[in-house]
Amino acid sequence: MSEITQEQVAHLANLARIALTPHEIESLTSELGSIVDNVAKVSEVATPDVPATSHPIPLQNVYRDDVPGATLTTEQALAGAPDHDGSRFRVTAILGEEQ
């Protein structure tokens, strides 16, 4: 039922923000096709009367009191960043020229 194309994989890679090489797109296309053929059978038993389970043990949402807790300092939060200016993360341009 699944015919995965190279165009689809290239599109998914773009959505997932991974700059795959043409060779990777080619091998992933055939691997994904085989995996999807194997996993597609879930729809055989997933009839409308069966409710979905998102979470193995049902829990209510958890809230805490709205008071400041123990958090990272700015220095700690920036410690592992590839680039920062001492108080903020530094990145390259958000918008490209065509925008």
Which residues contribute to the site for other proteins (CB under 8 A)? 4, 8-9, 12-21, 24, 28, 31-32, 34-36, 38-47, 50-57, 59, 61-62, 64, 72, 76-77, 79-83, 89, 91-96
What DSSP line would sit under 32-68, residue for residue? HHHHHHHHTTHHHH--TTSPP-SSSS--------SS-
Q: CB of residue 68 vs other proteins: minimum separation in angstroms?
A: 15
Closest approach of other proteins to the CB of residue 64, in Å: 7
Report in angstroms how near the CB of residue 25 gets to other proteins at its nearest: 9
CA distances from 75 to 28, 68, 88 (A): 40, 18, 10
Tokens 């096709």 belong to: 33
**Cα 12-18-19 angle, rounded to 5 deg:** 105
Closer by beta carbon to other proteins, 68 or else 93: 93
Closer residue to other proteins (CB): 19 or 66:
19
CB of 66 to other proteins, least distance (A): 14
Q: Which two tokens stand for residue 88?
A: 């903020």
